[in-house]
Amino acid sequence: MEWYSMFKQLQIQSDSPTEASNGIDTNALKDQAIQFGQTALDWVNNELLQTSTFVQIGAIAGVLFLGIILSPIVRGWIRAGLSKLPENLTSKISKPLLKVVRPLLWLAGLFVAQPVLSGMGYPVSFVRLASSLSLAWVIIQIATYVVPTEYRKPVSWIAWIIAGLNAFGLLGPTLAWLNANGFEFGGRLVTLPFIIQAIVFSALFLYGASWLSKRLRARIETLPRVEPSIRTLISNATHVGLFFGAIILALSSLQIPLGGLAVLGGALGVGLGFGMQQIVANFISGIILLTDRSIKPDDVIEVDETYGVVKSLGLRYASVVTRDGKEHLIPNEGLVTNKVVNWSYSDSQVRIKRRLRVEYETDLRMATQLVVEGAKKVDRVLQEPAPTCLVMEFGDEAVEIECRFWIDDPQNGVSNVGSEVMLSVWDLFTQNGIDIPLRQEEILIQPGSAIEVKMAKE
């Protein structure tokens, strides 16, 4: 275009050497400034202050005005048409479609104005420029809609800069200048377009890997006849594999030699050997737990003083939720090397024991029968296997008996159901006159013995 030719001519003139003896040649600078001003004034007189220019500006203003007036009407028609479509489809396409109604009307009007003005003998350079910007507006509005919300503003700014340079014919020269200027790194020239390309490709591939990983993991979680631990292992392996593949594709698209990854792998190996032993141990332990299925999601486990349900099992730690609502993140290495009680490893049915003491004068057969009846009254206690009560020991002060009963929901707690059974037995003992003996000590004084009493004064 004319202004680009003027810009190149001024650039050549500014690059030409000027004669200066001692410092800056002010006369040469003054002459260049005058020449630049004269050239700009000539361009304004020859290009802007012409009848054809005012005709084009009037046509553009008329198209913009008509687009503003007609856009509400067209939006109403579109809403009426979308109301006949399925609701889920309408919610997806209505917002982006309504946003581009006005620029689409401007674009259509400018496309009509170009042949009309050409047929009347007027140039259409400014109308073509406005059409290019309108088309860019439509494309940018649709493209940024699929971009995550937090990235829409920077992506929109970059797209508008590229569209503006392209509309004025400066995109090619600008890219050529940017590709020729940069810094050397690793035997190649790193330029601004290369950095932007690396960011864009990496973001696209990683976003695609994340999106695909979420879809596949959701599908894996619904696989029938597959153990939860195997589903977790497949899900994590899919997640890691997709992100690794995204990195490889990004490097390949940027023409970065993959042989350099061998050096990086060696460095990572040294780092893993010295500084990341615990992380690697937890990672390998996680794989072991997921493959041998000794601990699975929804299992009830007891580790040290932690008793709860395994909420999730990852490659680094297991999430265990206790009865008081606390979520413990236990490293996988601890679950592999330490002693773990899995209350629901092979069977969810567990037996609970509770000891009681009764007096020697108690009818033991009736007492054991009352204990069994009290256990059966609790809803969580299984009727099969049936509760039992055994006489365990004739102690120094009382007879010790033990209640044994089964439950199949250890995830709902063990101590609480034991308390309910003890309360039920207490009620039956109270109703039948059975006492729980108190701990006491007896002192026997033999005949002829004397008790010596001394008064001590503080």
Task: Specify the pLDDT at position 1.
Answer: 45
The reported pLDDT for the residue numbered 22 is 46
Take residue 403 and report the two structure tokens written for it: 């209640």
| Predicted pLDDT of residue 21 | 42
| 103-152 pLDDT, tens digit each | 888 888 888 888 887 777 777 777 777 887 788 777 777 777 777 677 77
Highest mean pLDDT of the ranges 22-26, 143-147, 225-229, 434-438 = 434-438
Q: Is the predicted pLDDT of residue 409 greater than 80, yes or no? A: yes
The class that CATH gives domain 350-431 is alpha beta
Name the phi and psi angles at 69, rounded to 5.
Answer: -70, -40
Res 403 pLDDT > 90: yes
275 pLDDT tier (thresholds 50, 70, 90)? low
User: Would you give the DSSP letter of residue 324?
Assistant: T
Separation CA 247–CA 31 (nearest Å)? 56
Mean pLDDT of 438-458: 67
Buried-exposed string 127-154: b where 16+ CB fall within 10 A, e elsewhere: bbbbbbbbbbbbebbeebeeeeeeeeee
Percent of the residues in the chain that have a pLDDT greater than 70, as a whole number: 74
Residue with the larger pLDDT of the pair 279 and 432: 432
Q: How many other CB atoms are there within 10 angstroms of residue 43's CB atom?
A: 14
CA distance 93 to 101: 13
- pTM (two decimals): 0.42
Tallying the residues shown for the chain, one arrives at: 458
CATH number of 279-342: 2.30.30.60
pLDDT higher for 190 or 318?
Answer: 318
Q: What is the DSSP letter of 316?
A: S
Tokens describing residue 167: 């509309």
Listed residue (217, 220, 354, 331) closest to 283, CA to CA? 331
Tokens 């993140």 belong to which residue?
329
Read off the pLDDT of residues 22-79 as tens digits, 9 standing for 90 and up: 455 677 766 677 666 666 666 555 555 566 677 777 888 888 888 888 888 888 887 7
The residues of the chain that CATH labels 2.30.30.60 are 279-342
For range 243-257, the mean pLDDT: 74
pLDDT, the chain, mean: 76
- Range(s) for CATH 3.30.70.100 in the chain? 350-431
- CA nearest neighbour of 159 among 117, 196, 212: 196
* Both structure tokens of 86: 């399925």
Phi, psi at 196, each rounded to 5°? -65, -40
Written as six digits, the tokens of 308 are: 């709860």
Per-residue pLDDT at 231 exceeds 80: no
Per-residue model confidence as pLDDT tens digits over 319-364: 888 877 888 888 888 888 888 888 777 777 888 899 998 888 888 9
